[in-house]
Structures are given as C-alpha cells and as structure tokens.
Chain A
Amino acid sequence: RKEVEQDPGPFNVPEGATVAFNCTYSNSASQSFFWYRQDCRKEPKLLMSVYSSGNEDGRFTAQLNRASQYISLLIRDSKLSDSATYLCVVNRGGAGGFKTIFGAGTRLFVKA
C-alpha cells in the first residue's frame, strides 16, 4: 500500500464547477500536511497547509481528518488557470526518521 494515495484522475470539469480531491495517508506518525500544485514540467508550488480545524484561502478549502487519516481539497468556481496536477504532501516523523512524502497527484482539467 502506498503511504500517500490520491486518485490520479483526470478530473475534467467546466469553468465554474466545484471539484473535490481526496488523499489518504497510512502512517499515523504523519505530522503536517500540505497541498501543492504542479504545472507540467514545473516545480511544485505550495497551495496551502492543511489543519484539523480546516482552512480556507479564497476559492480553496482544505480539511484534515486525523482519525480517518484523510485530507481533502475543495476548489470552488473553477478557473481555466486551475488546470494542473494537485499533490498531497505529508511530513512524517517517527522511528523511520523525518521524511516528506508526496502523493502521485490528481490531474485537473478545467474547460471553457
């Protein structure tokens, strides 16, 4: 089982749609959680950190459920520029040492 799992998609949505991505992690020693976006052949760019209380940044809302080991990202009113791959990222500590684990990403295409 992969340590961080995401639905690879692709998600094809029209402009203005609301789309939700999910991510699950398997290691209970995971400590901090993030969503990044990555455009084709570019570096990952931090979108937002994810907290148990939930956090919102404009059209983006992220949520963490530690009990279920589940992270979500909601994008409202999708724009063409939201087309990218969304990466779920988990930092974990524990006996194996501290590591940053990336999910394989979920591809989003927003169409006019």
Chain B
Amino acid sequence: EPEVTQTPSHQVTQMGQEVILRCVPISNHLYFYWYRQILGQKVEFLVSFYNNEISEKSEIFDDQFSVERPDGSNFTLKIRSTKLEDSAMYFCASSRLAESYEQYFGPGTRLTVT
C-alpha cells in the first residue's frame, strides 16, 4: 500500500538554525500539506500546495516558513531561523484529488529546538 514517507524521523537543532524537513507524498497524489502538532496539543494546519504553488496557508505559516517541490517527488518544509516554540511534530500529508478529499499522513518528523 502506498505511503507518505518523511525524513528525518527526529531532528535536533539549535535556535536560529535553518532546518529542512523532507516528505515524499504518495506518487499519484496532487495535493500536499504540512501540519504541526505541539506535544499534547491538537494538529494544526500550516500550508497546502498544489500545482507547484501554495494554495492556502495558516496564520502560523509566517515568513520564516517556506515550502518547495524541488524535483517532482520530494516536498520540503524549510524553517529559516528556528525558535524554541517551533519544537513540535511536523506531519506531511497528501491527497489524490481536490483538497476536500481524504488526506494520508506521513509518520512525522519530531523537531526539537534547543
């Protein structure tokens, strides 16, 4: 069964450093998403991406965040200058058709900012 994959599973970084989280969506899916979940809190939408551009983004997705699909298979989330409060689990998801369809999630990257 096709799956969304994410690397790394755990990333530790120092405050102020840049991190890139990587995702490989399911191959015939067209819509891609990033979410975050701070420990003990709910899953929060960050951004959706379709046709090589951002479709929607939340208030959380400020100028320090960016997304890219560099090579037709990977989908990346970059955090330019990490803060302590960026520590969270980051989930990538994809859906086959329009945004209203079911989304399938990757296993997540746990980001720890020290």
Contact = CB atoms under 8 A, between A and B. Distances in A.
Interface of A: 31-32, 34, 38, 41-46, 49, 87, 91, 93, 97-105
Interface of B: 33, 35, 41-45, 48, 55-56, 58, 89, 91, 99-108
Given A98-B99, A104-B42, A45 B48 contact: no
Contacts, number: 52
Given A87-B43, A104-B42, A98 B55 contact: yes
Given A43-B106, A99-B58, A91 B100 contact: yes
State the main secondary structure of chain A at its contact with B.
strand
A102 B105 contact: no
A104 B42 CA distance: 5
Contacts of A103: 42
B102 A97 contact: no
Contacts of B100: 31-32, 91, 93, 98
29 contacts: A31-B100, A32-B100, A32-B101, A34-B102, A43-B91, A43-B105, A43-B106, A44-B91, A44-B105, A45-B105, A46-B104, A87-B43, A97-B55, A97-B56, A98-B48, A98-B55, A98-B56, A98-B100, A99-B58, A100-B33, A100-B35, A100-B48, A100-B99, A102-B35, A102-B42, A102-B43, A102-B44, A103-B42, A105-B42
